[in-house]
Amino acid sequence: MKRAGCLFLAVAPVATAAVFLFGTDSGSEDSQDGKGPRFSASASPGKGAGASSASERAKEDRLIAKLPPGLAAPEKKELAQQIVASAENSTLDWRGQYDYIEDIGDGRGYTAGIIGFTTGTHDLLTLVERYTKSHPDNGLARYLPALRKVDGTGSHKGLDPGFTEDWVQEAQKDEFREAQDTHRDEIYFEPAVRLAKLDGLGTLGQFIYYDAMVLHGPGTGPRGFYGLREAAMAEADTPAEGGKEKAYLDIFLDVRRKAMKHEKPDRDTSRIDTAQRRFLYNANFELDTPLVWQVYGETFRVP
C-alpha cells in the first residue's frame, strides 16, 4: 500500500475543530509553526485565530443551508472517499482500510485506519480516547498510556508486539468502524467542505480542500491546510471574493504541490498532477462521473 496522508485531530465544534485543542500547528505531515491565516468567518480554527461570533456562525449556517449539498451528497461523499483512497492506499475500496495498520517509515509511527490516523501526530490517540469513553472494554484501551507517551514521535515503545494485531481485531467491530467514520467527518471532511462552500467553491473545490486537509493536516502553519489556503488567497481571489473558480483552484493546487515537494523534492505529486488538476482542466466543477485519473502511474475509473 502507498500511504501519503498523515492527519491530525481535535474536537467539536466542527468548523473550529482544526486547531481547537492543538493551537496553530496541527502536527500534520507538512504543517509548520507560523503566523495563522485569515479565515472566512466561523470557518476559522479557533478563537485565537479570529473565530466568528455566534451570530456570524448562524448567518453562515443559513447561507450554507441554501446551497446545494455538493460533496456532502451521499454519492459525492462516496466518490471523495474513493479518490482519496486511490492516493492513500492505491485502491478504490476505502472500506477495506479500517483494519489497515503499518509503519511506513515516515517517522510518524504507525499509520492506521481509513484515513491514515497516526500514532505520532495525535489523531490516533484521540480516536482511541474517544472510542474508549463509549466502549471502555475495547481491545485498544490498554494501550492508551503508551499512545500518550509516543505521541509526537515515531516510537513504538509500549505498543509492540500486540498493538497492530489488536487494531486489526478491533476494526472487525462495527462500533470501531463507525468511530473512525465519525472521527474523519468531524475533523476533516465537514470543516473542509464547509469552508469551501463559504469560499464559493463547487463540488470539485470542496474535494480539493478535503484532500488537502487529509494530506497536510488542519494546521495554520505554512504547510498546514489553513496556511496553504492563506497562501493561495494571497495570489488569487476566491469565488466568494469575486475571483474565478478555476484560477483560484489552479493557484491552490500550485501551492499544495510546492508544499508536497518541500520535504521531499522527488516526491510523487500525481494526486494533483494527473487527478485533481485533470478534473479542473476538464472543467468538471461538479465532479461528475464517469471519472478517470492516475495516481502513482496506476489508472483508476469510476463509471
Q: Residue 68 has what pLDDT?
A: 97
- pLDDT, one tens digit per residue, over 165-195 is 999 999 999 999 999 999 999 999 999 999 9
The CA distance from 136 to 134, in Å, is 6
- Per-residue pLDDT tens digits for 76-98: 999 999 999 999 999 999 999 99
Tell me the C-alpha distance between 213 and 219, whole Å. Answer: 9
CA separation for the pair 43, 226 (Å, rounded): 10
Task: Provide the 8-state DSSP code for 157.
Answer: T
- Of residues 25, 88, 123, 199, which has the active-site annotation? 88
In tens, the pLDDT along 115-168 reads 999 999 899 999 999 999 999 999 999 999 999 999 999 999 999 999 999 999
Q: Name, in order, each residue with C-beta under 8 angstroms of 261's C-beta and a sequence gap of 6 or more.
A: 267, 269
3-42 pLDDT tens trace = 343 333 332 333 333 333 333 333 345 433 222 233 333 3
Q: Residue 25 and residue 27: Cα distance in Å, rounded? A: 6
Domains of the chain as residue ranges with CATH: 16-59+185-302 (1.20.141.10)
Q: For residue 2, what pLDDT is reported?
A: 34
Q: Which is the catalytic residue, given 106, 129, 237, 286? A: 106
Cβ neighbours of residue 216 closer than 8 Å, sequence gap 6 or more: 28, 29, 30, 31, 223, 224, 225, 228, 256, 259
The enclosing H or E element of 292 equals strand 291-295
For residue 219, what pLDDT is reported? 87
Q: 218 falls in which pLDDT band (50, 70, 90)? A: confident
* Residue whose entry in the numeric block shows the C-alpha cell 467542505: 193
Query: What pTM was estimated for this model as a whole?
Result: 0.85
Is residue 88 part of the annotated active site? The answer reads yes
**259 vs 219, higher pLDDT:** 259
Q: What secondary structure, in 3-state letters, does 112-156 show?
A: ECCCCEECCCCHHHHHHHHHHHHCCCCCCHHHHHHHHHHCCCCCC
pLDDT at 107 over 70: yes
CA angle 70/72/78 to nearest 5° reads 110
Confidence of residue 52 (pLDDT cuts 50, 70, 90): low
Closest CA to 198 of 229, 176, 167, 222: 229
Is the per-residue pLDDT at 106 higher than 70? Answer: yes
Indicate if the pLDDT at residue 241 is higher than 60.
yes
Average pLDDT of every residue of the chain: 86
Helical ranges in the chain per DSSP H: 54-66, 74-89, 123-134, 144-150, 163-170, 174-184, 190-198, 203-216, 225-235, 245-263, 270-271, 277-281
Rounded Cα gap, residues 210 and 218, in angstroms: 10
